[in-house]
Structure 1
Amino acid sequence: MADDRNRRRFSDPRAAAEAAFRAATSPKPEAAAPRQAAPRLATPPGAREVVSLRLDSAVLAHFQKDGPGWQDRINAALRALVPAAED
């Protein structure tokens, strides 16, 4: 009867303890060096960058009311606010 109980066990406590000991004492493989982000290339003067910007719906409607080119109009309005904006 005692032999039947041992066969039904899914894991042997001694084997589990030995596996835990081996895992704790075995040398760990060296971790890979952390990946560094690629260096950012200098943007040429006058180049534009893609950004995500949240605007009030009234502000967006004001610039879009004249049709295509609304992004250029927003850029021009912002450029007028920036001192010494370079081209």
Structure 2
Amino acid sequence: MSKPIVQQDLDLDRLPPLSEEQRAELAALRARDDSAIDDSDIPPLTDDAWNQVVQGRFYKPTKTSTTIRPCITK
């Protein structure tokens, strides 16, 4: 049984505004020291996991035709 594909379109130029609660949470995270972050529940990656890494598997560049024409003025 395959997992369903979840897709969401997001316009990065028109993001929804942050709520006051979100702003307060971001400010608290920004003020926190990196050493205060507990990452003990994240298991380290093994060599076997790194051997299965595939770079750019889902990246497909788009081609855009660009023409540069000289501007001659008199």
Q: Aligning the two structures, in what range does the TM-score lie when normalised by the shorter sequence?
A: under 0.3
The alignment's TM-score, normalised by the length of structure 2, stands at: 0.23
Q: Which has the larger radius of gyration?
A: 1
Larger % of helix: which? 1
Higher relative contact order (CA 8 A, sep 6+): 1
